[in-house]
Homo-oligomer: A and B are copies of this chain.
Amino acid sequence: MSTLIERTASAYTYPLLIKNLFNAPVVDNPEQEIVYRELRRHDYRAFRRRVCQLAGALQRLGIKAGDTVAVMDYDSHRYLECFFAVPMLGAVLHTVNVRLSPEQILYTIDHAEDDLLLIHADFLPILEAIKGRIDTVKNYILLQDEDSAPASTVAFAGEYEALLEESPTTFDFPEFDENTRATTFYTTGTTGMPKGVYFSHRQLVLHTLGVLAALGTPTSQGRFHQGDVYMPITPMFHVHAWGFPYLATALGIKQVYPGRYAPDTLLELIKDEGVTLSHCVPTILHMLLSHPKIDTIDLSGWKVLIGGAALPQAMCRAALDRGIDIFAGYGMSETCPVLTVAHIGEEDLSADDEVEIRCKTGRPIPLVDLRVVDEELRDVPADGESVGEIVVRAPWLTQGYLKDHRNSETLWRGGYLHTGDVAGMDRKRYVKITDRIKDVIKVGGEWLSSLEVEDILGQHPAVAEVAVIGIVDDKWGERPLALVVPKGDAVPDEKSLVGLVREFIDKGMMSKQALLLKVRLVEEIDKTSVGKINKRVLREKYGQ
């Protein structure tokens, strides 16, 4: 039997609480700035005061430990204040995904049992659409950037700034169990209603320390430090803006919140505020890199962590050409999110190799136990060829889906969180994701990546769009079917498409199973609400 440490009666059992991340840096850097677009800037002294005032206002409106407070806002100084004040009260912060449909938003508000909703004026039309049907919310707080109140039928408990002004500037935040739930938000898939994930104080503190240990300690490339200026370009409702507002606050650095994402504003803020570190999905970076203003702005010295989707090599090169230190990371809503980061390290690399590493999924950060496994949870070899599903353990993974026992157990079967991502690992343990597991095609027991086949077929001159799915096959179990939208009048035939695939097989860049490819011409390919190919629908239509 191992021996637990003895605690003398008076000893303080230090719980890992968000307030402990907040206190020191905010006191130590009183003059550091928080900026909200061109509309507002204040120092950490005011930040600290406002967090206390927000807590006081929420308490006055009846919010207590265990209650849930929802926010619908753009990335703002107010959202940052909610990141701290709400969990520090012992309440749960529900960061509402404002891009969902009104019906889905209604579902998440009901499911999370929100007690209070802070809502930006721009999102009032959504609220008007669902208002009569919200069961749990007792109070609404209006967030606005204009001086005049918007027209609305909602009976607000008050406007944010007015409520803060009425509150004392100090607040005695309570102590509680570090496993107290701090945040909740919803993740959407191609099937069913959104699923709720949740994170405790302990998990958010450990995520902050783990990511700081990973991003703080590289020798040079991709390093996050006390001299940086931070601006998120991932919504704060999306996995706590990847947790970076907590990191930035713990570092005591200048933080810039851009409000609604408009390419001009983002570029202006980067230039005017001297932003040095951001994170975003490839689509947003593409939007910035192709903006007419881009040539007037010096982006060298800007570090950008890319996640949410694979970083294309062409985009990586374009960013590097502008002096941007760009690199990929990997994680998901269920994982708080950061699991891996693609730092290039200290090796002497060719430009091509460097791009390849920056675009891979990276290596696990401290405390992340990441494995690539087969269906029996056995490790597949780290040889750069074998593939399997990524499963993980880390101190910051959701311990289930909110009020959803069946999906929770599926997520955690065998004691590892199943990411649903198919990847390979090379000899240096860099992970590279090749597909979603539900889209993988299982041909005679081997896994064939639908994405890789799509990449090849997309290069055919007569193909406008392509999706590859697995269809039932008596001999092989499954075989690949390409659904192809022809480009203009050209009609790509099966023979020339299979021929293209064969070229890649001959070069050792594709597995032989792809030769079993069938082709079907279609007029259009079904998409999800966010514009991704909906393979579930395609399989229902064409899979038999």
Residues of A within 8 A of B (CB): 1-14, 16, 20-21, 23-25, 27-28, 65-66, 90-92, 176-177, 179-181, 198-200, 203, 205-206, 209-210, 212-213, 216-219, 223-227, 250-251, 345-346, 363-364, 366-369, 393-395, 397, 399-400, 405, 408-409, 411-417, 428-429
A124 to chain B, nearest CB (A): 29
Stoichiometry (number of copies): 2
Give chain B nearest CB distance to A210 CB in angstroms: 7
A408 touches B11 (CB 8 A): yes
**A399 vs B13: C-alpha distance when bound (angstroms):** 8
**Interfacial chain B residues near A212, Cβ < 8 Å:** 209, 212-213, 216-217, 366
Contacts of A414 in B (CB 8 A): 10
- Taken together as a complex, chains A and B put the C-alpha atoms of A143 and B395 apart, in Å, by 37
| CB within 8 Å for A12 and B416 given contacts A217-B226, A400-B6 | yes
User: Contact at A415–B2, with CB atoms within 8 Å?
Assistant: no
State A14–B212 Cα separation when bound (angstroms): 19
For the complex, would chain A's binding face be called helix, strand, loop or mixed by DSSP majority? loop
Asked if residues A20 and B369 are in contact (CB atoms below 8 Å), the reply is yes
A200 to B219, CA, bound (A): 30
Option from B10, B217, B227, B405 in Cβ contact (under 8 Å) with A346: B227
Which listed residue (B4, B11, B250) contacts A213, Cβ 8 A? Answer: B250
How far, in whole Å, are A314 and B56 apart by their CA atoms in the complex?
50
Given contacts A2-B65, A395-B16, whether A413 and B10 have CB atoms under 8 Å apart is: yes
Contact B8 A412 (CB under 8 A): yes
Closest to A9 in B: B409
Contact B177 A366 (CB under 8 A): no
Most B-side CB within 10 Å, residue of A24, A363, A366: A366
A288 to B162, CA, bound (A): 63
Asked whether, in the complex, the Cβ of B20 is within 8 Å of the Cβ of A367, the reply is yes
Neighbouring B residues of A92 by C-beta, 8 Å:
3
Enumerate 20 A-B pairs (CB-CB under 8 Å) in ascending A order. Answer: A2-B66, A3-B181, A4-B180, A4-B181, A7-B399, A8-B408, A11-B417, A12-B393, A12-B417, A16-B206, A16-B395, A24-B366, A24-B368, A25-B366, A209-B209, A212-B212, A217-B251, A218-B225, A227-B346, A250-B366
Note all chain B residues with C-beta closer than 8 A to A411. 8
- The listed residue (B20, B225, B369, B394) touching A23 by CB distance below 8 A is B369
Known contacts: A3-B92, A180-B4. The answer to whether A364 contacts B24 by CB under 8 A is: yes
Contacts of A25 in B (CB 8 A): 366
Tell me, in angstroms, the Cα distance from A203 to B219 when the chains sit together: 27
Taking a contact as CB atoms under 8 Å apart, the answer to whether B219 and A216 are in contact is: no
Interchain CB contact under 8 A, A226 and B346: yes
- Of B90, B225, B417, the contact of A219 (CB 8 Å cutoff): B225
CB neighbours (8 Å) of A409 from chain B are: 8-10
Q: How many Å from the CB of A381 to the closest CB on chain B?
A: 14
Tell me, rounded to whole Å, the shortest Cβ–Cβ distance linking A25 to chain B.
Answer: 8
Tell me which residues across on chain B come within 8 A of A91, comparing CB atoms: 2
A179 and chain B: residue at smallest CB distance: B4
Contact status of A399 and B5, CB under 8 A, knowing A210-B209, A346-B226: yes
A364 contacts across to B, CB distance below 8 A = 24, 28
Q: Please state if A11 and B209 are interface contacts (CB–CB under 8 Å).
A: no
Give the distance to chain B from A380, nearest Cβ to Cβ, in Å.
15
A5 engages B217 (CB within 8 Å) = no
A5 near B200: Cβ-Cβ < 8 Å: yes
Q: Which residue from chain B places its CB closest to the CB of A400 in the assembled complex?
A: B8
Q: Which residues on the B side are within 8 Å of A176 (C-beta)?
A: 2
Min CB distance A371 to B, Å, is 11
CB contacts (< 8 Å) of A177 on chain B: these are: 2, 4
Q: Which residues from B are CB-within-8-Å of A367?
A: 14, 20-21, 24, 205
Q: How far is the CB of A387 from chain B (nearest CB, A)?
A: 19
CA distance in complex: A416, B14 (Å): 11
The answer on a CB contact under 8 Å between B209 and A366 is: yes
Cβ contacts under 8 Å, A180 to chain B: 2-5
A389 to chain B, nearest CB (A): 16
Instruction: Tell me the complex Cα distance, A357–B97, Å.
Output: 46
